[in-house]
Amino acid sequence: MDLYPLKFDPILKERLWGGTKLKEVLGKEITSDITGESWELSGVAGDVSLVANGELQGISLQELIEKYPEDLLGKSVVDRFGREFPILIKFIDAKQDLSIQLHPNDELAKKRHNSFGKTEMWYIMDADQDAELIVGFNKNVSKTQYSNSIEEDKLLDLLNYEKVKEGDTFFINTGKIHAIGAGVMLAEIQQTSDVTYRVFDFNRKDKNGNLRELHTNLALDAIDYERKEDFKVTYAQNEDTVNTMVSCPYFNTNFLNLTQPLELDIAQRDSFSIYMCVDGSATISNNFGKANLKKGQTVLIPAKSNNLHINTTNAKLLEVTI
């Protein structure tokens, strides 16, 4: 099969904290005023992405993996993850603060939920004035101090706040307490996992008047209580080249700030490649076809590809591989 650049139908998710920027800024076809997430590329059971372009339109990502595992994913990826797509790609719009939460590591997630853990990264695409994130603690804390803060409703006093602007990038290790703040729209790259431990939700109620479930006890053994300056990503933004952003065991992400066409030889990559357009537009071609990409869209380049041509005069792209 000639595996051309594949685009997928967004899977849109209403969230208590969602808004309308996914429509207003990224052009997603939403009708709700509380759409918080657009899952761009997902192998999560029950939310598997469907191809949106070309002769494979309507075919699910999982079906493609079953038919063309190594051609689509790469042999090294199949050897490691089998026929499970290993990452989840999203755009997120937070009109309100998200709940304060964290994610377990692989070992704990496997033991408790038969799942991967959830290491993730965020690229800020849009931020209201004074918008901020919560990332980690503002000092080292003990489990006892943390537990007391939960009981006394003083958790917010222990948390680290980071003001953000477009282009800021954050790497969120498993165990790190965090929350996306109101007024932030971002691109998220994460391990394929939907395991989240919610520890504080500002005492909000859902549309039925109920408080959302908290995972206080599950979180206790999953939290990293140490204050660490390991979350802000410093990266080059040189034009018309590949700039390294994040390299970790679960994904590698690069930043492409393009003002002219770019040719990439990816024959030896042995991994699929994902391009998220975070600004501008481009046409991306491999040996078998092409796909047009604009801000807020994502394309999957099969591992079988040898050469990649990105035709643009103005595009900012996140390149993701395994």
Give backbone dihedrals phi and psi of 76, rounded to 5 degrees, phi first: -65, -35
User: Mean pLDDT over residues 288-305, rounded?
Assistant: 98
The reported pLDDT for the residue numbered 116 is: 85
State the Cα–Cα distance between residues 254 and 247, nearest whole angstrom: 9
Contact 310, 317 (CB under 8 A): yes
Stated length of the chain: 322
Whether residue 204 is predicted with pLDDT greater than 90 in this model: the reply is: no
Amino acid at residue number 25: V
Distances (CA, A) of 99 to 85, 102, 111: 27, 10, 24
State the Cα–Cα distance between residues 64 and 73, nearest whole angstrom: 10
pLDDT tens-digit series, residues 213-265: 999 999 999 999 999 999 999 999 999 999 999 999 999 999 999 999 999 99
Contact 289, 2 (CB under 8 A): yes
Confidence tier at 21 by pLDDT (50, 70, 90): very high
Confidence tier at 96 by pLDDT (50, 70, 90): very high
Whether residue 206 is predicted with pLDDT greater than 90 in this model: the reply is: no
Q: Burial of 42 by CB count in 10 Å (0-12 exposed, 13-18 middle, 19+ buried)?
A: buried
User: Mean pLDDT over residues 298-320, rounded?
Assistant: 97
Active-site residue, 212 included: no
Whether residue 70 is predicted with pLDDT greater than 90 in this model: the reply is: yes
pLDDT tens-digit series, residues 261-288: 999 999 999 999 999 999 999 999 999 9
Which percentage of the chain shows pLDDT scores above 70?
Answer: 100
Whether residue 10 is predicted with pLDDT greater than 90 in this model: the reply is: yes
Distances (CA, A) of 301 to 5, 87, 200, 218, 273: 5, 14, 39, 38, 5
Catalytic residue, chosen from 198, 204, 212, 227, is: 198
Distances (CA, A) of 105 to 68, 132, 171: 30, 25, 14
Average pLDDT over all residues of the chain = 96
Whether residue 24 is predicted with pLDDT greater than 90 in this model: the reply is: yes
The two tokens of residue 31 are 């009708």
State the Cα–Cα distance between residues 110 and 219, nearest whole angstrom: 15
User: Mean pLDDT over residues 283-310, rounded?
Assistant: 97
pLDDT tens-digit series, residues 40-64: 999 999 999 999 999 999 999 999 9
Confidence tier at 193 by pLDDT (50, 70, 90): confident
Whether residue 115 is predicted with pLDDT greater than 90 in this model: the reply is: no
User: Mean pLDDT over residues 52-79, rounded?
Assistant: 97
Q: What angle do CA 164, 170, 175 make, to 5 degrees?
A: 120
Closest alpha carbon to 25 in 286, 278, 299, 313: 278
Domains of the chain are: 11-220 (2.60.120.10), 243-321 (2.60.120.10)
